[in-house]
Structure 1
């Protein structure tokens, strides 16, 4: 029997971001509606969104941390302040987009990533639009 070719996987494909991972969460309230969608969510409606960011590093810093929780919370707060108590469909950056949970998670990830130190990786962003509905984006 011949050998089966082995598939090399990356850490990301295996579900790992980094050796160490740290998470913080925060909330924001906003309204949106889905375009080209047949259902209740095509109408204007709102959510109290929960957002969790997970950052990682392969080595701890001089304080034996991935990143200080206070710094992570500040970054997340800064990003969410642009969304809080807004009608998301009217934001210039969201023009002509379908404002799904997946889209919002990717948007938040792009903004958080810009604010992180180079030594820190953004592993994932999860958002909940309700207690039992969540989406996760891994950049």
Structure 2
């Protein structure tokens, strides 16, 4: 990609419980969060309708992933049910890959996912 691009973002949320494996501290016991998720999609050119991607397309793909995670104990869901810790970093990467698989085209790609665990703490996963 060149230095110039268009980018759109949708934001949503989900609530879930998790416990971090091999961690010593408050995060090692089961606890919950209301995660706020931001999905950024980037591309260099607009389509024939002069849009990068329909917000609805991004929102629907993201909501499918949120439905999988919402009101669940993440440690019981693949891929977090084995050794992959359901850390905020890994949640951001999971959402990135799941939404990418649903909407990426040669025209536009998911570029970044931010997962906010609290109002002041966030982890991100994306393209460099």
* TM norm structure 2: 0.92
Task: Assess if the C-alpha contact under 8 Å between 2:16 and 2:32 holds in 1.
Answer: yes
For residues 112 and 122 of structure 2, the distance between their equivalents in structure 1, rounded to whole angstroms, comes to 13
- Deviation sequence 1:10-56 (CA, Å, 0-9, x none): 86xxxx6x610000000000000111111011010000000000001
Is structure 2 residue 126 aligned with structure 1 residue 128?
no
Q: Which has the larger radius of gyration?
A: 1
Alignment of 1:1-139 (within 5 A): 19-94=5-80, 95-118=82-105, 119-139=107-127
CA-CA distance at 1:60 after TM superposition: 0.3
CA-CA distance at 1:99 after TM superposition: 1.1
Task: Report the aligned-residue RMSD.
Answer: 1.5
Runs of 4+ in structure 1 off by over 6 angstroms are none
Q: Secondary structure at the match of 2:20?
A: coil
CA-CA distance at 1:78 after TM superposition: 0.7
For residues 107 and 92 of structure 1, the distance between their equivalents in structure 2, rounded to whole angstroms, comes to 10
Task: Assess if the C-alpha contact under 8 Å between 2:104 and 2:110 holds in 1.
Answer: no
Count of residue correspondences: 125
Q: Structure 2, unaligned stretches of length 5 or more?
A: none
